[in-house]
Amino acid sequence: MSDAAAPLFLLSFRQRDELAQLASGAGWHVVAARRADGIARRLLASGARVAVVDARGALDEGLAAIVAISGIVAANGGALLALVSRGDVGAIGRVYDAGATHFLASPAGEGEFVQTLRFAARHAERVAGDWNVMRPATTLGWRIGRDAGAVLTDDLASALDLPERLGARALFRRVAIADRPAVVAAIRRMRATGTSAVAHGVPGAGRFVEHLRQLADGGIEALVERLPSGEAEPEREWRTRERDAGDARRWITGRLATGRPLAAMQIALTRFDLVNAAHGRAAGDLLLRAVARRIRDVGTGLFGQAAFVARVAGSEFLLIVDADSERTALAAGQLEETLAQPFPVDGALAALGSRIGVAETRPGDDAAALLRRTSQALASAKASDGATLRMTLRSGPAPIDALAVDLHHAMDRDEIDIVFQPQVEIASNRITGVEALARWDHARLGHLGADTLFAAAERADLGVALSDHIQGLVLARAAAWPASLAHIRLSLNVTAADVARAGFASMFLARVDASGFPRERLTIEITESGLIADLDAAASLLGKLRAAGCRIAIDDFGTGYSSLAYLKALPLDYLKIDKALAQDITGSARDRVVVRGVIDMARSLGLAVIAEGVETQAQLGLLSAQGCDFYQGYLCAEPLGDAALARLVEDKERCDA
């Protein structure tokens, strides 16, 4: 493995995968992380001369990470590149004081990022001279060539008690059986994007993290980290146990010690006692787990892995994040909205509510002071007859109002992007379709999802214009797909406002025909809540689109109050199970009964079933056993751009041939 690509260490709290893919494409073998825990050890283990800390949107956390590794970089003649947001350019002095040798401010293009990496690498070469540049105490890695033969480094061969050369299948058989599906999924992601990482066990040897990189000749190369005994896997340490109030106080204290301002949200569920009394403690415990999942999804969606979630009492939770008034207010609004959506409980749907108190740290605060003000805000929200949310944040415009202003220019500046998430036929394991998903590449806030995007559009009275814009983007992109995607169905979302527009079916079909994308490969998705608003109008619209050759899917089933008669009245082809319901299938026997009931109902009506949000092999196995037809989710792939999607489909079909 002497001709292996130079290693690069990358820490990015929000855009790890995108940056890793860029650096890998430029020739580096990337060891990437989303969390700063153990960063010094991981940098040393990687053997990288160049380290990148992406502090965009997380300046204080990025500065702390730079401080943690700058001594190692300086002592070994390396280079440390810091990425900062445009609004943080004034803090460049602090970045250099912390130990960075180079910086790059956004917005910057892909070429600028790669070129800056090369400058940093040349700097490291000049400074290192005759020094001992960073090398891991042991070098763990392997490479698989086109002949399917694996070559291991001496250290890895010794650690696994294997010869240095063996077949790829023999190496794969050393992976713990339970972890093999995750390894296969990681390889598929690597084939699609160029890089990926996966943690797995090796019986008798411990647990490892493998950073995979696709080689130009089609082979695979891996840098391997050995996890210390008892250390949680990257991205999964939150799963080990439920965090409590003591954990929250300790976490806040640690963060405040680094000088980071924080925001805390305390969430109290309403009507939970009634659900607990009606369905029993076991059902109540499952419901609390589902609530925690939704809170975590909001936190990580806006703040990345830096978001901290704890259950502090009964049916109360804490979400603690880095202080950013705009994002914090967005998170509080999203929490209020997502917790108001029904939860499946014991074969029925339970509607909860919430009261939320929000506070930010002030100078001189300790953990107790922050939590005391958060509790006071929550008490105020509980005492209110109307307002369910109380916030004590720094002054400034309401976040959605500010985004509404920005959205006026976002479409003109091409800030709205489209990605595609694959849909897999379970019986054949073939990718047969994709769902188009919109995201906003906001210059200040980074990637914002479709929920935030459409909330801003509603506030700006741009809902119709945004929907038209997204539909045009999706159809134009799909019409330009290569021949390898010629069999792939495209699922496109239609909003409730679209349903209510006079003549929308004719306008939409004209847009489809003008794009050149075939009607017969198009699936129209409409959400349950969108249909409920005007069932007659929805039935008429969907009937016209279906008669024109399109197929129809009802999206997010399980989040509303649909009835069997309601489904029977509409001309549908697919029913899409909401991800919260699909993921609960690995919970209790009752959860599986609910999912099986939905699938049986759909099949009795002649509908194919698509499960959303499938992330584990266990979920897929149970869904398959219950008769689900298709799935989409991170088990197959994250939402992808056009080129990455084409590579994934081609590689998957080649592997399955």
Reported as a single tens digit per residue, the pLDDT across 537-589 is 778 888 999 999 999 998 877 655 455 556 777 899 999 988 877 877 877 77
Between residues 397 and 522, the one the model is more confident about? 522
213: β partners: 195, 221
For residue range 45-78, list pLDDT tens digits in order.
Answer: 777 889 999 998 888 889 989 988 887 776 666 8
* 554 contacts 570 by C-beta, under 8 angstroms: yes
pLDDT band at 36 (very low <50, low <70, confident <90, very high): confident
Beta-strand ranges (E) seen in 87-175 are: 102-105, 141-144, 149-152, 165-167
Q: How far apart are CA 404 and CA 458, in angstroms?
A: 8
Q: Name the residue among 325, 315, 555 with its Cα closest to residue 450.
A: 555
**Mean pLDDT for all residues in the chain:** 81
| Domain range annotation of the chain | 7-128, 141-227, 245-394, 470-649
For residue range 585-632, list pLDDT tens digits in order.
Answer: 877 777 788 888 889 988 888 999 999 988 888 889 999 998 999 999
Q: Angle at which helices 281-303 and 272-279 pack, to 10 degrees?
A: 140
Report the CATH fold assignment for 7-128. Rossmann fold (3.40.50)
Count how many residues are written for the chain: 657
Q: Is the pLDDT of residue 213 over 60?
A: yes
pTM reported for the whole predicted model: 0.49
For residue range 243-299, list pLDDT tens digits in order.
Answer: 777 778 888 888 888 788 899 999 988 888 777 777 787 888 888 888 998 998 888
What DSSP string runs through 544-589? Answer: HHHHTT-EEEEEEETSS---HHHHHTS--SEEEEPHHHHHGGGS-H
For residues 610-646, b (16+ Cβ closer than 10 Å) or e, as one string? bbbbbbbbebbebbeebebbbbbbebbbebbbbebbb
The CATH number of the structural domain formed by 245-394 is 3.30.70.270
The CATH number of the structural domain formed by 141-227 is 3.30.450
The CATH number of the structural domain formed by 470-649 is 3.20.20.450
Q: How far apart are CA 133 and CA 144, in angstroms?
A: 27
For residue range 355-408, list pLDDT tens digits in order.
Answer: 898 998 888 888 888 988 888 888 777 766 555 566 655 444 445 666 777 887
Q: How far apart are CA 192 and CA 652, in angstroms?
A: 9
pLDDT for 47: 78
Residue 265, class by beta-carbon neighbours within 10 Å (0-12 exposed, 13-18 middle, 19+ buried)? Answer: buried
Q: How far apart are CA 65 and CA 59, in angstroms?
A: 10
Mean pLDDT value of segment 494-506: 84
